[in-house]
């Protein structure tokens, strides 16, 4: 038998070698008995000896030129012809020299080992009947029931054991096929999950890089249009800010294509990146943004870099929360507070805007108005980023009472997240 269709089974090789060794030993015993007891006619003894040698050569030759079929395969015509020739020669020897009956067991195993059960069982029955007839024919004295019972019992045991082995092998192959199929399905599922995760990552990055930048540029250009004739200097300042926003978005896109960390984090620490973000957003149309740092003594976030996934998640969530406050909340003021503790770092983004009902705009449930405008994805993306960094995100809001977005990431999140910004 073969375990995977290409690798031979060591147990099968051992069984085959044992059968061949048994055949050679029993054939040698039959030839020895022929030479020691002999036949009445010396010439006839030589002919029978030649038949024994031809029988052995044909048996061993067939193992090379007419090998048995693999498990589950139909036997080849060459193998069936070889097996028929071996049995025919054995029948001739059985008629000339009864000691040839000792060669029955290897033939019994050969017939059952690889042939289909519907062929192997009748073959075994015929072999056993021939052995019984031969033993009874040459028996001396009274009838000995063991001459009938013993071959039948041995044949039944050999047949039952080998048929059970064949069926067990068939069940094992079915089980292996099921396991291989389950492995392939699991691999396909993991590939689909990987593709979905990558699509979500790309969606989040495109939303953070392009959508927010284009929205900011739109607001700046609209403000410039309103002041174009009445306050040209102010309009020019808005256009200049829009151009700067476009430059930063272009740099972000180029860095995103190279799959690096956000541009702000590549150039400075998280604290400085949040401070710069508050300064830029505070100068654009929308709420005035204030940055605060609240670090406990000895907290690592206040004095050194954080794990890359945590830094990226905190910055991106802050960008999205400020964009929401600017575009949807109508807020006049926003406060970004970075809190560094010994085991985690937290960013709170609070605004005094119109607020909303978080339950009406939960994960996967954007409001109808926002769906129509192509919006409603910001909260879902923020939650996804926090989760991928090993942290949590909470939103506290109510209509007319402003909004507080809190994202908290443990310092151990370095190994929990995916590492993608």
> Is 166 within the bounds of a domain?
no
> Is 260 within the bounds of a domain?
no
Residues 132, 273 within the same domain:
no
pLDDT, position 395: 92
Cβ(240)–Cβ(224) below 8 Å: no
Domain holding 414: CATH number? 3.30.565.10
Say if residue 394's pLDDT is above 80. Answer: yes
Residues 408, 274 within the same domain:
yes
Domain closes at, from 112, 144, 176: 144
For helices 212-226 and 308-324, give the axis angle rounded to 10 degrees: 30
Residues 274, 417 within the same domain:
yes
Q: How confident is the model at residue 198 (pLDDT cuts 50, 70, 90)?
A: low
Size (the chain), residues: 421
What's this model's pTM, rounded to 2 decimal places?
Answer: 0.43
> Is 262 within the bounds of a domain?
no
Domain closes at, from 108, 127, 144: 144
pLDDT, position 418: 41
> Is 336 within the bounds of a domain?
yes
Helix, strand, coil percent content, the chain, rounded in steps of 5:
70, 10, 25
Say if residue 300's pLDDT is above 60. Answer: no
Question: What is the rounded CA–CA span in Å between residue 421 and residue 316?
Answer: 8
Residues 6+ positions from 364 with CB-CB distance below 8 Å: 380
Q: Residue holding tokens 């939960």? A: 362
Question: What is the rounded CA–CA span in Å between residue 359 and residue 363?
Answer: 9
Distance of CA 157 to the CA centre of its chain: 44
Q: What is the pLDDT of residues 220-248, one digit of tens each?
A: 888 888 888 888 888 888 888 888 878 77
Say if residue 306's pLDDT is above 70. Answer: no
How many domains, in total, are found in the chain? Answer: 2
Average confidence (pLDDT) over 30-39: 78
pLDDT, position 2: 45
Largest CA distance in the chain: 137
Residues 418, 278 within the same domain:
yes
- For 11, the token pair is 């147990």
Say if residue 67's pLDDT is above 60. Answer: yes
Q: What is the pLDDT of residues 363-391, one digit of tens each?
A: 445 444 444 344 455 788 888 888 888 88
> Is 116 within the bounds of a domain?
yes
Q: Give the structural domain span for 403.
A: 268-421
Residues 277, 420 within the same domain:
yes
Say if residue 338's pLDDT is above 70. Answer: yes
Q: What percent of the chain is predicted at pLDDT more than 90? A: 7
Name the DSSP letter for residue 354: -
Domain closes at, from 144, 160, 184: 144
pLDDT, position 403: 92
- For 209, the token pair is 């890089």
Q: How confident is the model at residue 261 (pLDDT cuts 50, 70, 90)?
A: low
């Amino acid at each position: 038998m073969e375990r995977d269709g290409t690798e031979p089974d060591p147990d099968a090789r051992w069984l085959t070698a044992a059968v061949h060794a048994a055949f050679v030993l029993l054939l040698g015993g039959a030839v020895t008995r022929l030479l020691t007891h002999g036949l009445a006619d010396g010439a006839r003894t030589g002919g029978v000896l030649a038949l024994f040698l031809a029988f052995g050569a044909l048996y061993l030759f067939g193992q090379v030129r007419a090998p048995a079929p693999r498990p589950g395969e139909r036997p080849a015509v060459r193998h069936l012809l070889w097996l028929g020739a071996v049995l025919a020669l054995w029948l001739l020897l059985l008629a000339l020299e009864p000691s040839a009956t000792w060669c029955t067991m290897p033939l019994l195993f050969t017939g059952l080992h690889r042939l289909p059960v519907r062929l192997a069982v009748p073959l075994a029955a015929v072999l056993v009947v021939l052995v019984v007839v031969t033993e009874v024919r040459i028996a001396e004295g009274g009838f000995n029931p063991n001459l009938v019972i013993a071959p039948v019992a041995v044949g039944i045991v050999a047949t039952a054991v080998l048929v059970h082995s064949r069926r067990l092998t068939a069940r094992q192959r079915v089980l292996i096929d099921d396991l291989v199929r389950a492995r392939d399905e699991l691999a396909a599922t993991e590939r689909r999950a990987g593709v979905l995760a990558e699509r979500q990552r790309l969606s989040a990055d495109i939303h953070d890089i392009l959508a927010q930048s284009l929205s900011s540029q739109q607001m700046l250009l609209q403000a410039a249009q309103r002041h174009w004739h009445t306050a040209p200097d102010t309009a020019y300042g808005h256009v200049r800010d829009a151009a700067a926003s476009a430059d930063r978005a272009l740099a972000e896109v180029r860095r995103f294509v190279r799959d690096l960390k956000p541009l702000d984090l590549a150039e400075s620490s998280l604290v400085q990146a949040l401070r710069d973000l508050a300064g830029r957003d505070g100068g654009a149309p929308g709420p005035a943004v204030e940055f605060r740092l609240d670090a406990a003594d000895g907290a690592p976030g206040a004095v050194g870099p954080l794990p890359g996934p945590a830094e990226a998640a905190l910055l991106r969530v802050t960008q999205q929360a400020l964009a929401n406050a600017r575009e949807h909340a109508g807020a006049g003021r926003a406060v970004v507070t970075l809190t560094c503790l010994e085991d985690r770092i937290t960013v709170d983004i609070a605004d005094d805007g119109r607020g909303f009902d978080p339950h009406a705009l939960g994960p996967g449930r954007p409001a109808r108005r926002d769906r129509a405008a192509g919006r409603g994805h910001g909260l879902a993306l923020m939650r996804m980023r926090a989760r991928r960094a090993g942290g949590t995100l909470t939103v506290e809001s109510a209509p007319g009472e402003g909004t507080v977005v809190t994202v908290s990431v443990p310092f151990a999140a370095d190994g929990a997240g995916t590492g993608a910004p």
